[in-house]
Each structure stands twice: as structure tokens, then as C-alpha cells.
Amino acid sequence: MLPSAIIKKVLSHIDPDELIALTADLVRINSVWDPAAGTSEQAVAEKVARWAQSQGFVVQIDQVAPNRSNIIISGPTGSEKRTLMFEAHTDVVTPGDVSAWRYDPFGAEIVGRRMYGRGTNDTKGNLAAMLIAMKALKTAAVELSGSVVGGALCDEEDQMLGVTDFIKRGHADKITAAVICEPQDGMICTSQKGAVRASYRITGRMSHGAMPLSGLNCAPAIARLIDGLHQLEKKAATTVGCDTHLGWPSFTPTVIQAPSAGAPQLNVMPGEAEVLVDIRTTPAQSHQKITTELKTLAQNVTQKVRESYKQYDDLLDLQRRQDLAVRVDILTDRPCTLTDAAEPIVKAAAWAIQTISRKTPVFGGVPGATDGTFLWSMKNIPIVTMGAGNRRIPHQIDEWVDLDQLIETAGVYALTALQYLRAG
Ligand SMILES: [Zn+2]
């Protein structure tokens, strides 16, 4: 048990006004990665670096790509036994149609106990909370048995170049656990869905819409593919079932395009089509098996469509070249993550939430991938994902965060570190 005097001491160094002001400063910097518009994470990364330096932290700035930097902050240090990382991303997604917003997306306007703006929820509020938590641990000068590292990383919303660079440079080598600071509404998320994304390319033969028998239509293959994907989803649902925290596995055709390029025309039967599928997995599934199933589906569809065209040609006494083909390419393969509930970081987070909120911690899972996916899968680092903000709000218009939940989160982060790195 940590002495309550130490807990109080650390929490007394969390200044809610400072947290709110820092969140607002970060939100007011547009950090959408949009080279055409001239915006990137750079200005917000520099802001984080300046703030951390002004608090006396040692800061490293790593350039990941032009105008895209990671900020690595060395927090309080103890013996080398454990190193806890706080991770938050500096990029935000586009506000979309700004006229649809009731509030300025980069205004950080406060109404009641909510702050509105792009990134308030995902995840600049939580970035500010982790910085304030690190400051509280430093200022309180409590003895820790390990070290704290803060990572404000770029490009989480797209290719995750920031975390990949962080790992490549060896920063993750000493990390023994990480808190991924993302909006999970105060829950402790110990698992994340995985993703397999694939592209099916169907090659038939183009022809005039009035003379379809002189070509080979891709449409029957598309229909069979969509049905086949649904059958795979049904099989996954019945074999692995519904994950307690992550829900059902899914195989979703998201883009169906014929022709696959160029303008579609009603009287032209396209010779090429593309079907994109977004598969989200739970830890009980094997990605290798899914990849094999996707390839088998391509072969089966090719065979079935050719057979069906052959039968039709026999009926009509035609001799068409039966060379319709279906090919599949795997575009993304991101594993699920699953941190054991017995891991010290999970226990520390649960204790911190209980201590701050006096409520039983709620456990959950993250529906999408985060930077934590890479820390977990490439470096075997146990991760928990937690932070302030309603989980349905990210990427929407009028994004907001509840300020009281944010203040509570800074306390939860600080106590999680205190417990995970407690001396003795
Ligand atoms: Zn995020």
C-alpha cells in the first residue's frame, strides 16, 4: 500500500487550470497532416517540446519525416528496474466541413464543463493529462523504483510512422509497460481488435452493354465474393463467438468499384473491378488462417464463375475464352493485442482508478488499432489504453471532452505511474 501522504502529495501538484489551459493551447494548433494545406504535427510537437523543457525535462526531438517529429520526454528516473511509457499522438483528423461545426474546430471553446474542438477528445486532452501527470510526479519528487518516459508521437491516424520510428531508434527497448493515452471514457482497455485489409481485383473482359456476350462481366464474381465474405464472417462468429470486450469479428466489404479505374458508364460493361474488404479480428482468431481463407475464396470464386459461364455458353452454343480471374492482395495485417489482467500495469491502473474515483474499474477493449498495437506486437510491451473522452466522439463534428473527466484522468495517470514504479 502506498502511504496516503505520498498519494496526496502527487495529486496536489496537479493543477486543473494548468491542464485545461495546456489542452486548449494544443487544440488551437491545427495538426491535421495535410501537406497541400501546409499543416502537420510539427507546430504542436514543438509546443510540447518547449513546454516540457520549461518544466525542466530532458527532451529529444526525432524527425520522422519532413515536418513530422516525435517528442520524447525523459521523466523522473529511479533504478533501471522498470520503465513506464506514456504515449499520446499529436496528429488529429480533418475537421471535415467546418461550416457543419457549431464551434470553431480549433477554438478550444469551453461551454459548461465541456471543451469543444478537433483533438479535445482524440487525443490532445489526454496528451495534456499525461504531461501534467509527469510534471506532478517530478515536482512532488517522490522516490520511484523506475523511470517514466513520455512519447508525443506523430502520424497515429494514418500509417503510424511515429511509433514505428520510435521503435526503430531503440527508444522502446527499455520500456516495460505503456499507457496509451486515448479516449476510452475512463475504462481500462487491455485488448484491441486486429485488422486485415485486402483488395480483390477481378479481371473480366470489357464490352458494349448491348453485346455482353462478347465480353466477360465481373459482376457475378463480385456477387460471389460478397457472399463468400459474409460466409467467412458467419463462420468466424460461430467458431470464435463474441469477445467480452471487443464484440464480434467482422468481414466488411467497404469499397466495390467497377470499373476499378476511370469513369463508369451505363452502356459499358467494365473489364476490371475491385472489392476492398476491412476485416476486424478478436484475439481468438488466427490472421494466418484468415489470409489463407481469403486466397481460397479468390480461387473458388474464379472457378465457380468460370464454370457458370461455361454452362451458359454451352446452353447458348457460344465459345468464349473463359479467362475471368480473381486475385487478392493483403494490404494491412495488424495483430490484435491482449494484455494479461495479471500484468502489474493493469493492476496499477485499476488501483489508480479505484483510488481516484472510488469506483470499481471497468475493463474494456479498443475497437481499432492504436500506436500501442506496435509496442505490443513488435516489442512485447504490456499496454493499457485509457483516457478521458466519450468513445463515440472521435472524428465527429463538434468533438468535445468532459473537463472533469480529463482532470480525473491526469490523476489516474500519475497514480498509475506511482503504483507501477513504487519504490521498495
Ligand atoms: Zn487517437
Per-residue pLDDT of the chain (424 residues; tens, 9 = 90+): 788 999 999 999 999 999 999 999 999 999 999 999 999 999 999 999 999 999 999 999 999 999 999 999 998 888 768 999 999 999 999 999 999 999 999 999 999 999 999 999 999 999 999 999 999 999 999 999 999 999 999 999 998 999 999 999 999 999 999 999 999 999 999 999 999 999 999 999 999 999 999 999 999 999 999 999 999 999 999 999 999 999 999 999 999 999 999 999 999 999 999 999 999 999 999 999 999 999 999 999 999 999 999 999 999 999 999 999 999 999 999 999 999 999 999 999 999 999 999 999 999 999 989 999 999 999 999 999 999 999 888 889 999 999 999 999 999 999 999 999 986 5
Closest CA to 243 of 66, 145, 127, 366: 366
Asked whether the beta carbons of 285 and 273 are under 8 A apart, the reply is: no
CA 122 / ligand 1 centre spacing (Å): 5
CA 99 / ligand 1 centre spacing (Å): 23
CA 223 / ligand 1 centre spacing (Å): 35
CA 138 / ligand 1 centre spacing (Å): 26
CA 92 / ligand 1 centre spacing (Å): 8
Helix (H, G, I), strand (E, B) or coil at 232: helix
CA 32 / ligand 1 centre spacing (Å): 13
CA 366 / ligand 1 centre spacing (Å): 11
CA 249 / ligand 1 centre spacing (Å): 21
CA 162 / ligand 1 centre spacing (Å): 13
Residue with cell 509496442: 375
CA 100 / ligand 1 centre spacing (Å): 22
Interhelix angle for 403-420 vs 4-12, to 10°?
130
Edge-to-edge strand list for the sheet holding 109-111: 109-111, 114-116, 400-402
CA 328 / ligand 1 centre spacing (Å): 30
CA 206 / ligand 1 centre spacing (Å): 43
Asked whether the beta carbons of 421 and 138 are under 8 A apart, the reply is: no
Distance between CA atoms of 202 and 305, rounded to whole angstroms?
11
Residue 332 bridge partners (DSSP): 197
CA 93 / ligand 1 centre spacing (Å): 9
Asked whether the beta carbons of 78 and 143 are under 8 A apart, the reply is: yes
CA 378 / ligand 1 centre spacing (Å): 20
Residue with cell 474488404: 277
CA 203 / ligand 1 centre spacing (Å): 38
Q: Which three cell numbers, joined as nine digits, stand for 251?
A: 468481414
CA 372 / ligand 1 centre spacing (Å): 11
228 Cβ neighbours under 8 A, 6+ residues apart: 297, 300, 301
All domains of the chain in start order, with CATH: 4-192+336-420 (3.40.630.10), 194-334 (3.30.70.360)
Beta pairing, strands 337-338 & 146-153: unpaired
Asked whether the beta carbons of 190 and 141 are under 8 A apart, the reply is: no
- The DSSP line for 154-209 is S-TTTT-HHHHHHHHTTTTTT--EEEEE---TT-EEEEE-EEEEEEEEEE-B-EET
CA 159 / ligand 1 centre spacing (Å): 13
CA 136 / ligand 1 centre spacing (Å): 24
CA 89 / ligand 1 centre spacing (Å): 7
CA 16 / ligand 1 centre spacing (Å): 22
